[in-house]
Each structure stands twice: as structure tokens, then as C-alpha cells.
Amino acid sequence: MSWGNCGYAFPTIIGAKAAAPDRPAISYAGDGAWAMSMVETLTCVRHDIPVTAVVFHNKQWGAEKKNQVDFYNRRFVAGELTHNDFASIARSMGAEGVRVNTLDEIGPALESAVDRQMNDRKTTVIEIMTTRELGDPFRRDALSKPVRHLEKYKDYV
């Protein structure tokens, strides 16, 4: 994570499934990261690589928005991800799409998705609707001023 990777969970799990097709493969991502790689759902469908993707949908770029709120006096820009329906998008690509709205739906949705993956060779995207509470970003130093250790870079701020 030190390089700020975002959107790599799903493509990585596709590779893992291709390497070990007899094992369940499940990826987890927030909605922002998911939007970066969700088109790979077509790869799964077209090339018969069944996986399960869990998407935590809080309708925002949570870590980035939290950094902006913390560093810029509670102001933020371009942090909202409102008009998305990832379950429908998955269905439009030929995968199964499931939207989960309550906590008690998560277990059965995941069990069904893994069953479809292993027995029906079907990719499933589980979209879990979550609260909009902002958690701590994984990079607390993301927007702080850099420390210049070499004299030749002291003028770069």
C-alpha cells in the first residue's frame, strides 16, 4: 500500500482464480477502487473465470475525502460517487449482481455467490450498501508538506 495502489484487488483475484480454479476467489474493494477495475467483470464472463467481488458502496472516495476534510478545513471536492448501481452494471456484463442493504443479508449473499462460482462457474458482484461515515485514510501523510532531506531539494515545496 505504500505506493497508493487502488483498484488492484479484483484483477489480482482473477489471476489467483486462473492459477487455482478449484479454489474460491473473493475480492474486497470500496466503490472508488471498484470503479477502477469493474470492467474486468467482462474478462471473467468472456473467459470463464468465475470469481466473487464484494464492493463496499458508501457513495464516496472515503480515504481521499477524509484527507481533504482533515487538511482543508472540512472542505472537499470530487469525493462523491453518487449515481452508481454496481449490481445492475454487473448484470449488464453477464455476471450476477446482488445488492445487500442489511447486515443479515451479507452471509447468505456471500455463500450463494461462492456456490455459484464453484458449481455454476458464475461471477458474482455483491454490492454492500454501507454508511457514509468517513474512516481514517490509510495514508495520513498524503497531503502533508514533504520533508526535504537533501540540500539541493530544499527549494522544492
What pLDDT sits at residue 96?
A: 98
Which architecture, in CATH terms, is 19-133? 3-Layer(aba) Sandwich (3.40)
What pLDDT sits at residue 50?
A: 98
Task: Please report, as a single letter, which amino acid is at residue 36.
Answer: M
Return the closest-CA partner of residue 22 out of 109, 126, 121, 123: 121
pLDDT in tens, the chain (157 residues): 455 677 889 999 999 999 999 999 999 998 888 888 999 999 999 999 999 999 988 877 666 766 676 777 766 666 666 778 999 999 999 999 999 999 999 999 999 999 999 999 999 999 999 876 666 555 666 666 777 888 888 777 6
Residue 135, sorted as left (phi over 0), alpha (psi -120 to 50) or beta, turns out to be beta
Domain ranges, ordered by start, for the chain: 19-133
Return the closest-CA partner of residue 125 out of 51, 72, 66: 51
What pLDDT sits at residue 140?
A: 60
Return the closest-CA partner of residue 100 out of 130, 138, 139: 130
Predicted TM-score of the model (pTM): 0.78
